């Protein structure tokens, strides 16, 4: 009797695991092929019905699948040098939040991807209030709107009802380094921020009116970027293959 109960428990566990795998978000249909050139133009086209990746490095696909930045990904160096073309159709009832999970499912099925998350201490930045004090007054809460524009040498951020935590997230994306809000400020603010993208050697002409971003934060907002070790959640690739199952 005991053996029968144990056997039923094992079968039940297997069934639950199989059901969990089957219930993962997945594309309705998908094609993944190696792009042997792995050079030249690359891009992503997406609408409500489908997504197409052209000549996309595996590292970028993983960043999209796990919704992380490049500094959060740890794995084989060759992931930057192996590219894929993917054409995939979303199910009719697909949620936008499920789309990265669908890509992850595809990579797990086709490239035998396995990965885990862990937290590491990496060099990054924290935002703190500068010695002269914070310079903005909070505005009424509402939908946050922000727009970053500019070019190679200078950038402008026009922000409406932005929190400092959201600013830290934006700076993380811009700098490709973790930036954490340690100001303790809880309000939302309207501001325009202009900065030069060349911190070391600002060019003359129009760009010399724009300071480095660290100076712009201090002058416009009364905030300071402080370099220090910060906790970063990493995605560590344990195994991934170069060739999709459908190409073997």
Q: Is 112 helix (H, G, I), strand (E, B) or coil?
A: coil
Note the pLDDT tens digit of each residue in 12-50: 433 333 344 457 899 999 999 999 999 889 999 999 999
Strand duo 223-239 + 73-74: pairing = parallel
Share of the chain above pLDDT 90, in %: 77
Regarding predicted confidence, which is higher, 98 or 246?
98
Note the pLDDT tens digit of each residue in 141-184: 999 999 998 767 889 999 999 999 999 999 999 889 999 999 99
Over 90: is that where the pLDDT of 101 sits?
yes
Over 60: is that where the pLDDT of 116 sits?
yes
Supply the pLDDT for residue 7: 43
- Domain spans of the chain? 25-119+236-247, 134-221
Supply the pLDDT for residue 195: 93
Q: Is 100 helix (H, G, I), strand (E, B) or coil?
A: helix
Regarding predicted confidence, which is higher, 11 or 75?
75
Q: Which of the four pLDDT bands, split at 50, 70 and 90, describes residue 115?
A: very high
Q: Buried b / exposed e across 168-206, counting CB within 10 Å, b at 16+? A: bebbbeeeebbbbbebebeebbebebbbbbeeeebeeee
Note the pLDDT tens digit of each residue in 192-203: 999 998 754 444
Give the separation between CA 180 and CA 172, rounded to whole angstroms: 8
Mean pLDDT of the residues in the chain = 87
Q: Which of 117, 122, 121, 118 shows the shortest CA–CA distance to 104?
A: 117
Q: Which of the four pLDDT bands, split at 50, 70 and 90, describes residue 11?
A: very low
Supply the pLDDT for residue 207: 46
Over 60: is that where the pLDDT of 100 sits?
yes
Determine contact, residues 126/167, Cβ cutoff 8 Å.
Answer: no
């Amino acid at each position: 009797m005991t053996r029968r109960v144990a056997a039923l428990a094992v079968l039940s566990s297997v069934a639950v695991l199989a059901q969990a795998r089957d219930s993962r978000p997945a594309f309705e249909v998908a094609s993944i092929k190696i792009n042997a050139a792995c050079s030249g133009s690359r891009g992503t086209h997406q609408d409500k019905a489908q997504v197409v990746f052209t000549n996309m490095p595996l590292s970028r696909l993983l960043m999209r699948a796990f919704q992380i930045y490049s500094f959060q990904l740890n794995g084989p160096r060759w992931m930057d040098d192996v590219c894929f073309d993917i054409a995939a159709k979303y199910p009719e009832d697909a949620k936008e939040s499920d789309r990265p999970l669908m890509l992850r499912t595809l990579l797990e099925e086709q490239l035998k991807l396995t990965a885990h998350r862990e937290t590491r201490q990496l060099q990054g930045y924290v935002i703190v209030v500068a010695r002269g004090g914070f310079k903005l007054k909070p505005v009424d809460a509402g939908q946050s709107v922000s727009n970053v524009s500019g070019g190679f040498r200078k950038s402008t951020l026009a922000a409406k009802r932005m929190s400092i935590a959201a600013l830290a997230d934006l700076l993380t994306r811009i700098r490709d380094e973790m930036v954490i809000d340690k100001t303790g400020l809880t309000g939302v603010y309207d501001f325009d921020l202009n900065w030069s993208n060349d911190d070391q050697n600002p060019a003359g002409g129009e760009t010399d009116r724009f300071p480095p971003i660290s100076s712009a934060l201090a002058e416009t907002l009364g905030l300071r970027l402080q370099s220090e070790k910060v906790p970063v959640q990493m995605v560590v690739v344990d195994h991934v293959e170069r060739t999709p199952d459908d190409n073997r």
